[in-house]
């Protein structure tokens, strides 16, 4: 049975008490979370410490949950006001999202910046979750991530936050194309993932999980997504 990754991208949402309540509710869930499912929670930078501590204190060994960051500075330590570098992130997380379409579109991140961020993640032994919306972005980063430990998330821009996901068949075709270029790495689908459609994606031959945005904010919805994946 293949390993399935379910990544919660909280984006710019929640404060500390809301994050802790979310973790408590997930811990109290009656769902059965299988060992072959890797759950990764990616909160805002301000919540990384409390989420990591909450998972340790509340969930403990009950569920295998990892922590990821939503971004990483393309610079190391130094005079980079507002930047959060890989050495700082590594204290609190194992994964980091890189190149999300919202970063590319809203913050002007081009292929060069994305590749610099991938390199910093790998330097500090963080596993990048590289987000791409087309094959050009794969080709732009293939030399940086080739033979490295990483994950790719295919997220078509038309599906993000719209409630209109890609078809499982087309997403699977994209995942296959990505693996043909980069090798047998995990490829996730992202874009309007819900408890109703998650299975249609994870049951495809080349898709290894999902990057979940809005639906991950509701713990009951997210728990059901994990269960149905």
Q: pLDDT 10s digit of each residue in the chain, 229 long?
A: 899 999 999 999 999 999 999 999 999 987 777 788 999 999 999 999 999 999 999 887 777 899 999 999 999 999 999 999 999 999 999 999 999 999 999 999 999 999 999 999 999 999 999 999 999 999 999 888 877 799 999 999 998 888 899 999 999 999 999 999 999 999 999 999 999 999 999 999 999 999 999 999 999 999 999 999 9
Is 91 among the residues known to form the active site? no
One of 38, 102, 109, 155 is an active-site residue; which one? 155
Domains of the chain, residue spans: 4-228
- Tell me the two tokens of residue 148: 């490295």
For residue 188, give the nearest of 173, 175, 205 by alpha carbon.
175
CA distances to 76, 174, 177, 200, 218 from 161, in Å: 32, 20, 24, 18, 15
Is 155 among the residues known to form the active site? yes
For residue 113, give the nearest of 132, 133, 99, 134 by alpha carbon.
99
- Tell me the two tokens of residue 75: 């610079």
Q: What is the pLDDT of residue 63?
A: 76
**Helix (H) or strand (E) run with residue 4 in it:** strand 4-9
Q: Which CATH number fits domain 4-228: 3.40.640.10, 1.10.287.130, 3.20.20.70, 3.30.70.120?
A: 3.20.20.70
Beta bridge partners of 97: 129
One of 100, 102, 116, 169 is an active-site residue; which one? 100
Sign of CA dihedral 157, 160, 163, 169: positive
- pTM, to two decimals: 0.96
Cα gap 82→53, rounded to integer Å: 23
């Amino acid at each position: 049975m293949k390993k399935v990754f379910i990544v919660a991208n909280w984006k710019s949402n929640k404060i500390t008490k809301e994050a802790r309540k979310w973790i408590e509710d997930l811990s109290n869930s009656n769902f059965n979370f299988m060992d072959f499912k890797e759950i990764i929670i990616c909160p805002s930078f301000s919540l990384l410490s409390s989420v990591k501590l909450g998972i340790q204190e509340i969930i403990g060994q009950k569920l295998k949950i990892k922590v990821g960051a939503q971004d990483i500075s393309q610079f190391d330590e130094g005079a980079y006001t507002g930047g959060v570098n890989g050495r700082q992130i590594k204290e609190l997380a194992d994964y980091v999202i890189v190149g999300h379409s919202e970063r590319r579109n809203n913050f002007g991140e081009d292929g060069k910046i994305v590749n610099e961020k991938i390199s910093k993640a790998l330097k500090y032994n963080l596993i990048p979750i590289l987000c791409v919306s087309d094959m050009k972005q794969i080709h732009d980063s293939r030399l940086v991530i080739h033979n490295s430990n990483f994950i790719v998330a295919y997220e078509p821009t038309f599906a993000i936050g719209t409630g209109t996901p890609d078809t499982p068949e087309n997403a699977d075709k994209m995942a296959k194309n990505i693996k043909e270029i980069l090798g047998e790495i995990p490829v996730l689908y992202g874009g309007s993932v819900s408890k109703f459609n998650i299975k249609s994606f994870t049951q495809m031959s080349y898709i290894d999980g999902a990057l979940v945005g809005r639906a991950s904010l509701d713990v009951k919805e997210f728990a059901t997504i994990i269960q149905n994946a």
